[in-house]
C-alpha cells in the first residue's frame, strides 16, 4: 500500500477555497481546480517507491493484477480526481472508443502534433466519466426536450433567438437539436456576441430558471456556448449524488466540489465556453442528438456497507464507505488495483491514517481494510 502525494492543477476555473478547505490548509489565493490521483503521464501521483506510473511500469501484473493487464493493458485504466469548480468549465463531449481510435489514427496519419492546439484526439481511448458531489454541485448534462427549450428561449423575448425557437418547434427531435446547435456554433461571431449580450441581460432580469445562464454569460461574455448551454438540462446535485457522462453527451460543470473518476484519456471536443479550439464539424459528428433526463445516480448499498455508483463501463468502479463511530472494519481486498480517498473524518487503511484529501494506492490482491469514522471513496476496475 502506497500513500499518494498528488498534484493540484491550478486551472483558471478552479475554486480558490474548496480544495484547501477539504485539506485543512490555508488558501493560497490561486485557483485550485483538480487534484489528480493515478498514473496519468501528465501528473502521476508520487509514492515512496517513485511515481505511480513508474511503479506500475516496473511490474504491471504485480501492481494491477493479471486480469486487469489482460483486459486493459499494462497501465492503470482510470484517473481519480477531486474537482473544484469556481467557474463554469468548457461545454464539451467525449468520443466513444471507435470514434477515438478513428480520430487518433487520422490525426496521426496527417501528422498533427499531439500538443497542437487544434488537435482533437490525444490518444485512442474513450473518456466516460462520473462526478459525485461532495457539496451542492451544479452542472449541465444532455439535451433538454426541444419543446421545453423552445419555451425557455421564447420567454426571454430576444428577437434574434426566434429562429432557434421556430426550428425547435418545427423539426423532429434529432434534427431540431442538430440544426440549432449547428446554427449557434456557425453564426457570425459579432452577431452572436450581440445575441449573447441580450440573452444574458434578459436572464439576469428574469432570474429563476434563467439564473445559471446569466452566470455562465458573466464568465464567458459573447461566447456562442452560452446559447448552446441553454439547450441542455441544468442539474443540481446534492452531496452523495452523481452523474455519469457517456460518449457523445454534451455537458459542463458549473460550480461545486466533487469526486470525479474517468477512463484514462485526454480526448475532449469542445462546444463553447472556452478560448480553446472548437472543431464544429468533428463535434457534430460526435454529439448524440438525443434529449432525455440526465439520470442522477444515487449509490446502491450492499450488505457489507459498500455504496456503489453503478455505470455501464469496466475501466472504473467508484464506491464509498460511510463509517460510523465504533463501526466494524471493512475488508476491501480485491484482485484489482485500488485507490482509496478519504473525504471526511479520520480513517485508517492498515497502518496508514487518512484525513480528508489524503489517498493511498493498493496493488491488486494486497490486503486492505478500512476502520475509523468518516467517508472513504474506493476507485477500482471491474475484472
Domain final residue pick, 185, 208, 230: 230
d(CA 16, CA 32): 6
Distances (CA, A) of 115 to 98, 109, 118, 266: 22, 15, 9, 11
Answer left, alpha or beta for residue 122, where phi above 0 means left and psi between -120 and 50 means alpha: alpha
Identify whether residues 134 and 62 lie together within a single domain.
yes
Active-site pick, 46, 270, 334, 378: 270
In a domain, 120, yes or no: yes
Count of positions (residues) in the chain: 383
CATH number at residue 325: 2.60.120.10
Which residue range(s) make up the domain with 341? 316-380
Domain final residue pick, 230, 263, 295: 230
Supply the pLDDT for residue 210.
96
In a domain, 302, yes or no: no
Supply the pLDDT for residue 117.
86
In a domain, 349, yes or no: yes
Supply the pLDDT for residue 59.
97
Identify whether residues 133 and 278 lie together within a single domain.
yes
pLDDT digits (tens, 9 = 90+) for 239-264: 999 999 999 999 999 999 999 999 98
Identify whether residues 26 and 51 lie together within a single domain.
yes
Closest C-alpha to 282, from 54, 99, 115: 99
Identify whether residues 272 and 333 lie together within a single domain.
no
* pLDDT beyond 90 at 328: no
In a domain, 57, yes or no: yes
Identify whether residues 195 and 260 lie together within a single domain.
no
Supply the pLDDT for residue 23.
96
Identify whether residues 240 and 369 lie together within a single domain.
no
How many structural domains compose the chain? Answer: 3
Identify whether residues 47 and 130 lie together within a single domain.
yes
Report the range of poorest mean pLDDT among 20-34, 262-276, 288-302: 262-276
Closest C-alpha to 47, from 5, 88, 84, 11: 5
pLDDT digits (tens, 9 = 90+) for 221-232: 999 999 999 999
Supply the pLDDT for residue 27.
95
Of the pLDDT bands very low, low, confident and very high (cuts 50, 70, 90), residue 114 is confident
Query: pLDDT averaged over the chain?
Result: 95
Q: Provide CB contacts within 8 A for 142, sequence distance 6+.
A: 232, 233, 249, 250, 251, 290, 291, 292, 293, 294
| Annotation marks residue 205 as catalytic | no
C-alpha cell at 127: 473518456
Taking the model in full, what pTM does it have?
A: 0.94
In a domain, 309, yes or no: no
* pLDDT beyond 90 at 367: yes
Give mean pLDDT, residues 337-359. Answer: 96
Supply the pLDDT for residue 275.
85
Amino acid at each position: 500500500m502506497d500513500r499518494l502525494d498528488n498534484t493540484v492543477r491550478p486551472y483558471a476555473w478552479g475554486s480558490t477555497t474548496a480544495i484547501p478547505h477539504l485539506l485543512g490548509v490555508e488558501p493560497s489565493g490561486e485557483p485550485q481546480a483538480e487534484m489528480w490521483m493515478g498514473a496519468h503521464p501528465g501528473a502521476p501521483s508520487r509514492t515512496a517507491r517513485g511515481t505511480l506510473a513508474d511503479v506500475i511500469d516496473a511490474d504491471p501484473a504485480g501492481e494491477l493484477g493479471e486480469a486487469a493487464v489482460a483486459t486493459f493493458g499494462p497501465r492503470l485504466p482510470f484517473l481519480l480526481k477531486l474537482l473544484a469548480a469556481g467557474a463554469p468549465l468548457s461545454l464539451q463531449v467525449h468520443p466513444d472508443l471507435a470514434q477515438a481510435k478513428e480520430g487518433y489514427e487520422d490525426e496521426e496519419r496527417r501528422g498533427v502534433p499531439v500538443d497542437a492546439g487544434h488537435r482533437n484526439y490525444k490518444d485512442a481511448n474513450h473518456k466516460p466519466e462520473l462526478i459525485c458531489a461532495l457539496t451542492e454541485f451544479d452542472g449541465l448534462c444532455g439535451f433538454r426536450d426541444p419543446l421545453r427549450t423552445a419555451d425557455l428561449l421564447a420567454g426571454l423575448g430576444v428577437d434574434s433567438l426566434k429562429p432557434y425557437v421556430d426550428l425547435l418547434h418545427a423539426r423532429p427531435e434529432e434534427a431540431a437539436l442538430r440544426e440549432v446547435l449547428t446554427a449557434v456554433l456557425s453564426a457570425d461571431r459579432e452577431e452572436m456576441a450581440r445575441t449573447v449580450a441580450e440573452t444574458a441581460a434578459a436572464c439576469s432580469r428574469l432570474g429563476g430558471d434563467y439564473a445559471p445562464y446569466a452566470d455562465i454569460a458573466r464568465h464567458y461574455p459573447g461566447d456562442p456556448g452560452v446559447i448552446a448551454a441553454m439547450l441542455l438540462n441544468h442539474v443540481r446535485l446534492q452531496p452523495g449524488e452523481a452523474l455519469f457522462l457517456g460518449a457523445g453527451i454534451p455537458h459542463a460543470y458549473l460550480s461545486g466540489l466533487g469526486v470525479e473518476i474517468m477512463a484514462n484519456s485526454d480526448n475532449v471536443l469542445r462546444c463553447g465556453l472556452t478560448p480553446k479550439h472548437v472543431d464544429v464539424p468533428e463535434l457534430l459528428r460526435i454529439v448524440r442528438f438525443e434529449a432525455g433526463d440526465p439520470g442522477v445516480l444515487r449509490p446502491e448499498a450492499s450488505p457489507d456497507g459498500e455504496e456503489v455508483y453503478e455505470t455501464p463501463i469496466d475501466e472504473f468502479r467508484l464506491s464509498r464507505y460511510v463509517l460510523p463511530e465504533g463501526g466494524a472494519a471493512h475488508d476491501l481486498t480485491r484482485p484489482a488495483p485500488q485507490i482509496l480517498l478519504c473525504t471526511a473524518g479520520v480513517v485508517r487503511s492498515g497502518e496508514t491514517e487518512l484525513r480528508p484529501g489524503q489517498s493511498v494506492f493498493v496493488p491488486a490482491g494486497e490486503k486492505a481494510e478500512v476502520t475509523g469514522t468518516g467517508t472513504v471513496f474506493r476507485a477500482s476496475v471491474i475484472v
